[in-house]
Amino acid sequence: MPSRWSRTYARHGCSSSRRRPASAVPGFTLIEVVVAIGILSMVIISVFMLVTVSAASLKDSDMRNTATNIANYTVEYIRSRNATSDNSLGQTGTAGFPGLIDLGSNPVANNSSAAALSINTNPALPSGTYSSTNGTAFYSSLQGYVSLADNPNPTTPTLSLEDSNAKVDNSRKYCDTITGAPYVVRFPLVSGGPGGIKNFTALAGYNSNPKIYTTDANKLANDPNHYTVTKAGTTAYTGFRVLTQIVARKALAADPDHVQYYDVQVTVFWILGSAEHSYSVATQITTYGGS
C-alpha cells in the first residue's frame, strides 16, 4: 500500500526521476560553426586552386604543342629551300654555288636578290662564333607567326600590317626590321585570304626594334641583333614569334668558300600570363657542290 508521501507525489504529478525539458535539443556551439566554416572554406579554395592550375597547365601544353609544330614547319621549310650544284633549278651554263635560295649568291643566279646576303659563299669553320670579322656567315631574323601578303607595298607608311617585326625593302620583299635580312620563311596561305594565319599581334608599347629579353651572355654574344638585356617592350604581344638562326659552315680552312652544311636553330616564343616562354629545335642541313 502506497505511503502517505508517495500518494502526495503522485497527486502533484511528481516523479522520483528527472526529465529533460522538451525544448532542449542537440545543437552546435559558435566555435563548432566557425571551425566548420573554416574547413569548408579550405576545401573550396583548394578546389579552386586545383582548377586554376589545371587550366594554366592545359593552356601551356596547348601553346607548347603549337610552338613545336611551328618550329618543325620552319625547319622543314628551310630544308626545302636548300639547293646544290647537282640541282641547278633550270639554270643554264655554269652550275651555281650550293646554298639556301633566299640568301643570295645561290644556285638561282639569275634571281635579282642573288647578292642580298653572302652567307652562301662565306662559311665559317665549325668552331667559328659570331664576330665582326665572320658575321657574314651568320643569319638571323625575327618574325611573327602570320601569313604575309603576296605583294607588299613598300610605300605604305606601316610597311607590314601583318607583322610588326617585318619591313619591306625596295625590291618588295619582307625583311627583318633590325638586320634587313630577307625572310627565309613564309608561313602558309595569304594574310587576306581565307584561313590566313594571324597568330601574332603587337600590343601598345611593343618595341619598335623588336628583340628578345635575356640574361644569357651566350645568346647575347651569338646574336646581339635579336637579344637584349632591356626588358621594356619585349613582351608586349600576343601569339607567337619565331627567331630563325642559321650559320653557314665548312669543314676546313683550306676548303673552298662553299657551304658544306648549315647549323639551323629555330626558337618559337609566346606569352603566358606575364612571362615569355620558348621552344627551340636545332638541326644541320647538308649541302654540296663544285669547287
Instruction: Give the pLDDT confidence of 32-42 residue by residue, as tens digits.
Output: 788 888 888 88
Q: Which of 16-20, 76-80, 97-101, 187-191 has the lowest mean pLDDT?
A: 16-20
Q: Is residue 16 part of a domain?
A: no
Parent domain of 276: 63-286
Q: How far apart are CA 83 and CA 98, in angstroms?
A: 6
Strands (E), 162-288: 166-168, 174-176, 200-202, 212-213, 227-228, 237-249, 261-272, 275-286
250 neighbors 284 (Cβ within 8 angstroms)? no
228 inside domain: yes
> 30 lies in a domain?
no
Q: Confirm whether 51 is domain-assigned.
A: no
- What pLDDT shows up at residue 157? 43
Tell whether 200 is covered by a domain.
Answer: yes
What pLDDT does 152 receive? 77
Decide if 49 is inside a domain.
no
Q: Which pLDDT does position 36 carry in this prediction?
A: 82
Checking if the pLDDT of 112 tops 50, the result is no
55 lies in a domain? no
Q: Quick one: pLDDT band at residue 169, thresholds 50, 70, 90?
A: confident
This prediction's pTM: 0.76
Is pLDDT larger for residue 119 or for residue 4? 119
Indicate whether 80 belongs to any domain: yes
Q: Please count the structural domains in the chain.
A: 1
Residue range 239-255, pLDDT digits in tens: 999 999 999 998 888 87
DSSP code string of 56-108 = HHHHHHHHHHHHHHHHHHHHHHHHHTEE-TT--TT--SS----EEGGGSSSS-
